[in-house]
């Protein structure tokens, strides 16, 4: 697959903690790159770690390490991403997944995700 791929938050987490959970296709895409991660994933990780629903003691350090080890570029949330979000159907209620989908759509990236609901959006979801 040509072009960058945007990783869903759980995929980034699994790269470091449970790489066996990645599909063979996801593993290949991550290995071949280029890989992009959204700042929305960083936000989601901080919230979940602070709530205790994600076993990450220091989410800031974890994020820096994850970005470095995955070789990913970080995608900020821009106005065109929010505009794409405004046009999305409400197949999925998770705000982090929705903005990540909107970013993939706005940038023309494929999205690496195990979430079957995301394939209902107008983006190429790879798992």
Q: What is the CATH number of the domain that holds 17?
A: 3.40.50.1010
Give residue 102's pLDDT: 96
pLDDT attached to residue 51: 95
| Residue 93 belongs to domain spanning | 5-126
What global pTM score does this model have? 0.92
Q: Which residues contact 55 (CB under 8 A, 6 or more apart)?
A: 49
pLDDT, greater one: 6 or 91: 6
Task: Report the first-to-last Cα separation within the chain, whole angstroms.
Answer: 12
**pLDDT tens column, 40-97:** 999 999 999 999 999 999 999 999 999 999 899 999 999 999 999 898 888 778 899 9
Number of domains in the chain: 1
The pLDDT of residue 2 is: 62
């Amino acid at each position: 697959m040509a072009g960058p791929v945007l990783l869903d938050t759980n995929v980034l987490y699994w790269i470091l903690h449970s790489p066996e959970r990645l599909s063979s296709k996801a593993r290949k895409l991550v290995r071949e790159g280029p890989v992009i991660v959204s700042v929305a994933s960083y936000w989601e990780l901080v919230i979940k770690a602070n709530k205790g629903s994600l076993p990450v003691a220091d989410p800031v350090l974890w994020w820096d390490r994850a970005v470095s080890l995955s070789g990913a570029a970080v995608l900020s949330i821009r106005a065109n991403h929010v505009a794409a979000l405004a046009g999305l159907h409400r197949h999925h209620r998770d705000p982090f997944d929705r903005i990540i989908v909107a970013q993939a759509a706005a940038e023309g990236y494929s999205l690496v995700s195990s979430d079957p609901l995301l394939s209902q959006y107008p983006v190429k979801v790879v798992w």
